Amino acid sequence: MYPDRVVSGMRPTGAMHLGHYHGALKNWIKMQSELPCLFFVADWHALTTHYDDPSVIERSTWEMLVDWLAAGVDPSQATLFIQSRVPEHAELHLLLSMATPLGWLERVPTYKDQIENLSSKDLATYGFLGYPLLQAADVLIYRASQVPVGDDQVPHIEMMREIARRFNHLYGKEKGFEEKAQEAVKKLGSKRAKLYNELRTEYQQDGKDEALEQAKAMLDDAQSLSMGDRERLFGYLEGSRKLILVEPQARLTVASRLPGLDGRKMSKSYGNAIALREDKSSVEKKIRTMPTDPARVRRTDAGDPARCPVWQFHQVYSNNETQEWVVKGCKSAGIGCIECKQPVIDAIVKEQEPMHERAQQYLDDPSLVRAIVADGNDAARKLALETMRDVREAMGLAYT
Ligand code: SF4
């Protein structure tokens, strides 16, 4: 039907740290060579929680973009853009809001969590309640097939799917749909048409998912169909509606979690972070002064890696051999903590070297980043406009 596509965004939080790199960016970099990817700076989302201090958003946006590029996000493979530069996200958000039950938003688990976690802020706003719907618009507007998420975000994707389904159900009705769909079946050629009808019956009467998948694969291969007929035939397989919005799938990311220097979640606000492009000497200093197992007061005291945040770094950065050396050396007091930390320092410095190199050109000439994003904004907007044309038409707002 629609081509496979990945959409993912990040709030502009300023310079990124290694927790972001291991938790999300590394995964983006892997995906960009596998599928068409759209990565965006979610500046409107930042406003849902920082509406009272928007001054940092623009600077944070540019800093974050340099970090993405430094980390290896490649603009020749992926589309990088800024959410608010594609205002159609807001239009789709508004249109979806007309038919989205309030209860769907209130039951999103992160809604209540965030209100409690950020209790210092007044988040009883319309924008904050609606942010999962804005997220849905961010994804649905590109008819994305996949959204990379951690476990905690799966309910958001589930809601996006429900929203797409409801939209198609409400607005996918087309006058004479049945007749048009049957005309389109004929265009498949007699052999394929017969197979299509058989698979459709198998799916609709017996609920055979394999039949649905097989029919979809056949439609993907059918070159002779126009876009409109293809959409109709996809919709006809499952019911009597055109599919205007695509239900995305959650793509679960198995990211390695890098904690902060004190073992808690890495966060700039906890003061326990290593920036993505941190200075070499500062990395050395931060790791050398990192807390270790409190039981190792003296060099001769044995320790336990399970109680030491340095060990969690080894789990991300060290191979089996080094990890065995750590466990043995720590438990027998055979190695000192400074000695134990050295391979971590070396690995981080090595990881960051190409990042510093890549970032330099963008720091020397910020117009390069502006140009990459301008191209990305245009490319994203083109796709968004295609979807909005169909959405407006389906909702009776085409005014042709
Ligand atoms: S030897 Fe390594 S793992 Fe053991 S307490 Fe020291 S830093 Fe932590």
Nearest atom, ligand 1, residue 295 CA = 5
Helix (H) or strand (E) holding 85: none
How far is 106 from 23, CA to CA, in rounded Å? 27
Question: Which contacts (CB < 8 Å, 24+ apart) does range 57-62 have?
Answer: 57/12, 59/14, 60/12, 60/13, 60/14, 61/12, 62/366, 62/369
List, for residues 199-252, the tens digit of each pLDDT value.
998 888 888 889 989 999 999 888 888 888 888 898 888 877 788 999 999 998
Q: How many residues does the chain have?
A: 400
> Who wins on pLDDT, 288 or 222?
288
Instruction: List CB contacts of 243: < 8 A, sequence separation 6 or more.
Output: 1, 168, 172, 231, 234, 235
pLDDT for 223? 81
pLDDT on residue 124 = 79
Which of 328, 340, 341 to probe ligand 1 with, by most ligand atoms within 8 A of CB? 340
Distance of alpha carbon 313 from alpha carbon 51, whole angstroms: 35
Least confident of 54-68, 101-115, 136-150: 101-115
User: How many A from CA of 337 to the centre of ligand 1?
Assistant: 5
- Cα 22 to ligand 1 centre (Å): 22
Using the CB atoms, write b or e for 352-388: b if 16+ within 10 Å. beebbebbeebeeeeeebeebbeebbeebbebbebbb
Residue-level pLDDT at 36:
96
Q: Are 29 and 275 in contact (CB under 8 A)?
A: no
Q: Give 338 Cα–ligand 1 centroid separation in angstroms.
A: 8
Place of tokens 């789709």: 92
Tens digits of residue pLDDT in 360-397 = 999 999 999 999 999 999 999 999 999 999 999 999 99
346 Cα to the center of ligand 1, angstroms: 16
pLDDT value for 72: 97
Tell me the per-residue pLDDT of 91-134, one tens digit each, with 9 for 90 and over. Answer: 999 999 999 999 899 888 777 777 777 777 777 788 888 999 99
The rounded distance, in Å, linking the Cα atoms of 125 and 110 is 15
Residue 10 is inside which H or E element, if any?
Answer: strand 6-10
Going along the chain from its start, the domains and CATH numbers come out as 6-172+249-257+366-394 (3.40.50.620), 177-237 (no CATH), 277-364 (1.10.240.10)
- Which DSSP string do the residues of 122-186 spell out, in sequence order? ---SHHHHTHHHHHHHHHHTTT-SEEEE-GGGHHHHHHHHHHHHHHHHHH---TTHHHHHHHHHH
Give residues (CB < 6 A) around ligand 1.
292-293, 296, 303, 305, 308, 310-311, 326, 330, 335, 337, 340-341
Q: Which ligand 1 atom sits closest to the C-alpha of 341? A: 7
How many Å separate Cα 26 from the centre of its chain?
A: 12
Which ligand 1 atom lies nearest to the CA of residue 336? 1
Q: Do residues 144 and 6 touch, judged by C-beta distance below 8 A?
A: yes
Average pLDDT, the chain: 92
pLDDT score recorded for residue 1: 65
The separation between the first and the last C-alpha atoms of the chain, rounded to the nearest angstrom, is 26
Confidence (pTM): 0.86
Residue 377: HSE in the Cβ half-sphere, 13 Å Cα cutoff: 14
pLDDT, tens only, 6-60? 999 999 987 899 999 999 999 999 999 999 999 999 999 999 888 878 888 999 9
What pLDDT, on a 0 to 100 scale, did the predictor assign at position 232? 87
